[in-house]
Chain A
Amino acid sequence: MAIGRIGIYALLLAFAAVYLMPLYVMVMTSLKDIEEIRQGNLLSLPESPTFYAWVKAWGSACTGSECEGLAPFFFNSIRIVVPAVLISTLIGALNGYVLAKWKFRGSELLFGALLFGCFIPFQVILLPMARLLATLGLANTVTGLVLVHVIYGIAFTTLFFRNFYVSVPNELVKAAQLDGANFFQIFRHIFLPISVPIFTVTIIWQFTQIWNDFLFGVVYSGPGTQPITVALNNLVNTSVGGKEYNVDMAAALIAALPTLVVYVLAGKYFVRGLTAGAVKG
């Protein structure tokens, strides 16, 4: 029994170490100066920790011809992600509410078609979407990127909310109808308050997807609207003199930080939300 326990924990610790190793190397490397990195000791602690690389990655590293660091792109990403997440989540909530509780002729078919949207590879829509954005005059704009992400996200957000709302008893809708509530009042007073877990799941999912997106970001953005993923790529590929691994690592960590923070803050609710349908509340 005790020996079995020890074995299990040893194995778990070993796996955790394997998974955390890259993060450890990144953090350590970002805190070293370039001389120390050249000595080639990846796993050692920094001799004299310095935030030089972080400061440079944020404020003055070169991403192509400009040398303003990641900061402007970080805020580009924020400006894309926040509206795209909120809009796609709200539309998904409404869609899911209708598809679960206000079924109409063909609603199942529509849901099936929407599901299909989850399986369309990004590459397939690159050209048609570029044409569409050009026609709408949204090429190379933040609005255009938000639109692309909203459209692409609706399939997933609708799926999440629909499956969550299907488990809500129909009698609740009937009772509210008899109480005199209309379509939106039922959504607002009955469904929204019970939706906290599924909102958390959807927001985390959408935030991660859109923040980490590179392909749409590189294709549909212009010089002033590139998201941080594109800038990170440019930063790593631009070298002035030697390669600054510490700056690259710091930049990668900066780019990954928001999703990490979201998971740490809301991860508990994420797991809870994923299993919420399984338990009657």
Chain B
Amino acid sequence: MGSLTISNVTKTFGSTEVLKGINIDIADGEFLILVGPSGCGKSTLMNTIAGLEDVSSGQLLLANEDVTDRSPKDRDIAMVFQSYALYPTMNVARNISFGLEMRGVPKAERDRKVEEVSTLLQINHLLDRKPSQLSGGQRQRVAMGRALARSPRVYLFDEPLSNLDAKLRVEMRTEIKKLHKRLGTTIVYVTHDQIEAMTLADRIAVMKDGLVQQLGTPNEIYDDPANQFVAGFMGSPPMNFVPCEVAEDGSIAIRNRGAVVSLKVPQSDHLKGQDVRKVILGLRPEMITEPKPERSGEWIVNMTMDFDVTEPMGADTIAIGEWNDVEVLARLSPEAGLSAGENTSVQVDLSKACLFDPKSGERVR
């Protein structure tokens, strides 16, 4: 019912190319998240899906029908805006039913639908209020109610939670996920918050400069990033990037506490024969931990590090050291973090180490 195919979509404003050929297949009922830094084109892509902007070239298929040239109202898509965009002079009930009213749905059915949606979102008691009399979280619910009332084939969410405070954001995040489970309708969701992306998505499309850098499940994006940009964008604290020399045998060299340590990484055998001299080692902070004796294997290395700074975060402690004159973050347990300082024993897990080309930023595999 609600599959969405975006094929070769480009969009230019004057001489600036905002979208440079986007290809995404979204399955029916899928929760797809578009992430990227500001200016990457994710909101423009959203607007072209909604029909609020025309595409410069390319095609949009909704349930295998070509909707590229259809006006927004004929696409059967509903959108939740970052600013909520509630109609200021209408009360909550009319805000929710306005879309139905414009489509000529009879009054009785509209009332039934308002009742149903407001019960689902627990806003029954607010139906007579104007948007100005609502709190941020309530407005958010009404905005979602407005989208739900029409039962469209696709929901678009444009950074819906970024105007809420931290606590409410987490609550609404869970609520949106529940809602999606319950309704099973296709959702395309734009955010710049990578935690939202990881927690909500079936698949994530990471965008930069008008191109999709990688499209995959949250785990694929996190563990197997396509390039240095994706690796650095997803994850908090971010992945460590250490420029390294490659030795003849394919191992990589890092300078730690004044001594050079040679590390064998999964890619070493492959690198051996090749003329690659410099790479960037990408290693997530949680891959550098306190020694865990139960763990062993080919890619587990024990060493000592000097930590200048430790940042307790509660569940774990971030300790900051240095390899090859570059800051390296380690994620230690709180107990180990207490004693972290000079000459601390750590364990490095290189099994998920990524190597990147220093020039292009692409993966070296």
Contact = CB atoms under 8 A, between A and B. Distances in A.
A43 interface: no
A172 B87 contact: yes
Contact of A281 (B47, B73, B81, B132): B132
B143 to A, nearest CB: 8
Interface in B78-135: 78-79, 81-85, 87-90, 98-99, 102-103, 132
A190 B79 contact: no
Contacts of B82: 171
Nearest to B147: A178
Q: Is the interface of A mostly helix, strand, loop or mixed?
A: helix
Interface string B172-207: 000000000000000000000000000000000000
Contacts of B81: 171, 174-175
A178 B71 CA distance: 9
Nearest to A177: B72
A181 B88 CA distance: 16
B99 A178 contact: yes
A119 to B, nearest CB: 31
Contact of A174 (B50, B102, B146): B50
Contact of B85 (A174, A185, A193, A281): A174
B168 interface: no
Nearest to B156: A178
Nearest to A172: B85
A34 B47 CA distance: 76
Contacts of A176: 87, 98, 102
B102 A194 contact: no
Nearest to B84: A171
Nearest to B73: A180
Contacts of A281: 88, 132
B9 interface: no
Contacts of B88: 172, 194, 281
A179 interface: yes
A180 B102 contact: yes
A179 B102 contact: yes
B52 interface: yes
Contacts of A177: 51-52, 71-73
Interface string B195-227: 000000000000000000000000000000000
Contacts of A175: 79, 81, 85, 87, 146
A169 interface: yes
Contacts of B98: 176, 179, 181, 189
Nearest to A169: B83
B77 interface: yes
Interface string A191-235: 001100000000000000000000000000000000000000000
Contacts of A169: 83, 85
Contact of A178 (B77, B84, B89): B77
B110 to A, nearest CB: 12
Contact of A179 (B51, B52, B99): B99
B146 A179 contact: yes
Contacts of A174: 47, 50, 52, 72, 79, 81, 85
Contacts of B71: 177
Contacts of B103: 180
B51, B73, B84, B103, most chain A CB atoms within 10 A: B73
Nearest to A179: B99
Contacts of A182: 73
B83 A181 contact: no
Contacts of B73: 177-182
A178 to B, nearest CB: 5
B291 to A, nearest CB: 53
A190 B132 contact: no
B102 A185 contact: yes
B85 A171 contact: yes
A177 B51 CA distance: 9
A176 B72 CA distance: 10
B95 to A, nearest CB: 9
A281 to B, nearest CB: 7
B244 to A, nearest CB: 48
B111 to A, nearest CB: 17
Interface in A102-152: none
B82, B84, B89, B150, most chain A CB atoms within 10 A: B89
A176 B73 CA distance: 9
Contacts of A180: 73, 99, 102-103
A176 to B, nearest CB: 7
B353 to A, nearest CB: 44
Nearest to B87: A190
A189 B150 CA distance: 18
Interface in A33-78: none
Contact of A194 (B79, B89, B146, B150): B89
Contacts of B83: 169, 171
Interface string A153-177: 0000000000000000101101111
B134 to A, nearest CB: 14
B15 to A, nearest CB: 15
A180 B104 CA distance: 10
A177, A179, A185, most chain B CB atoms within 10 A: A179
A171 B90 CA distance: 16
A220 B102 CA distance: 46
A179 B42 CA distance: 22
Contacts of B77: 178
Interface in B50-83: 50-52, 71-73, 77-79, 81-83
11 contacts: A174-B47, A174-B72, A175-B81, A176-B102, A177-B51, A177-B72, A178-B72, A180-B73, A180-B102, A189-B90, A189-B98
**Nearest 3 A/B pairs, CB to CB:** A179-B99, A171-B85, A193-B89
